[in-house]
Amino acid sequence: MATKTKKQELVAELEALFNQSSVAIVADLSGFSVEEITKFRRRLDKDAAKCKIAKNTLINIASSKGSFAPLGEIAKGPSALILGTEDPASPAKTTLAFFKEVKKGEVKGGVLEGKLLTPNQVKAVAELPSREVLLGGIAGGLNSGAQGIAGILNNIISDIAVLIEKVAEKNNSAA
């Protein structure tokens, strides 16, 4: 059993992770080997995410002060926390893909922007395009709008140049 100091350190570590995170997913990793959990953690590292395993009471204490307070409702039984610091979709995608690959594990739910997510909602978040894809789409939309405006301005300038040329021709023929 962990000492009081160890528990306080773990709570402080979890609080720091909650402060940095944008999404938290609660999963059941029962039946996973140490090798599988290590492999899972390495995949999460690529998504700027962490997997922490702690007692539910410590998870509840650490999450109680902020937007992750709803975790207390789903952190029951064997629980592992998957905390994502950047794109909320990436940790969910990685978690579900890994569970499908090893044919083990279960998502209990999650919390995103202070709202409790059901397992189906976590799956829906996983189906969202990545942050990079969304930003690329926005940039493409902005770029096409800018190109449209540039084309319109270019046409106006061309029309003015043609008009000036016609007026100059008319003035030369009249003189």
Mean pLDDT within 108-126? 88
pLDDT at 54: 87
For the domain 4-128, what is the CATH code?
3.30.70.1730
CA separation for the pair 122, 25 (Å, rounded) = 8
pLDDT at 87: 81
pLDDT at 46: 87
Kindly tell me the number of DSSP H helices and DSSP E strands found in the chain: 7, 5
> What pLDDT, in 10s, does the model give residues 47-94?
888 999 888 888 888 888 888 888 888 888 888 899 988 888 889 999
pLDDT at 38: 92
The overall average pLDDT reported for the chain is 83
Nearest CA to 67 out of 18, 117, 124 is that of 18
CA separation for the pair 123, 62 (Å, rounded) = 25
pLDDT at 77: 83
Using the predicted structure, report yes or no on whether residue 39 has a pLDDT greater than 90.
yes
Using the predicted structure, report yes or no on whether residue 42 has a pLDDT greater than 90.
yes
Domain ranges within the chain, ordered by starting residue: 4-128, 129-175
pTM across the whole model: 0.70
> What pLDDT, in 10s, does the model give residues 118-146?
899 888 888 876 666 667 767 766 666 66
Region of residue 48 (phi > 0: left; psi between -120 and 50: alpha; otherwise: beta): left
Mean pLDDT within 140-163? 69
